[in-house]
Amino acid sequence: MTDHNHHDECGHSHREASDSRGVSRRRILGATATAVAATGGLAGCLSGGDGSGEAPEPVTLDESDSCDVCGMVVPNHPGPTSEIFYADEEPAGHANPARFDSTWEAFQFDFARQDDGWSREAFYVTDYSAVDYEVFEDGGDTLVSTHPEADAFAEAESVTFVVGSEVVGAMGRDLLGFGGESDAEAFQSEYGGDLAEFGDIDESTVASLGM
pLDDT in tens, 66-92: 999 999 999 999 999 999 999 999 999
Alpha-carbon span 105 to 91, nearest angstrom: 14
The domain locations on the chain are 33-207
- Alpha-carbon distance 119 to 56, whole Å? 13
The β-bridge partners of 196 are: 161
The CA distance from 38 to 42, in Å, is 6
Write down the pLDDT at residue 16: 53
Per-residue pLDDT reduced to its tens digit, 35-59: 434 444 434 434 354 445 689 999 9
Are the beta carbons of 179 and 42 closer than 8 angstroms? no
How are beta strands 141-144 and 133-138 bridged, if at all? antiparallel
DSSP secondary structure code for residue 132 in this structure: -
Is pTM beyond 0.85? Reply is: no
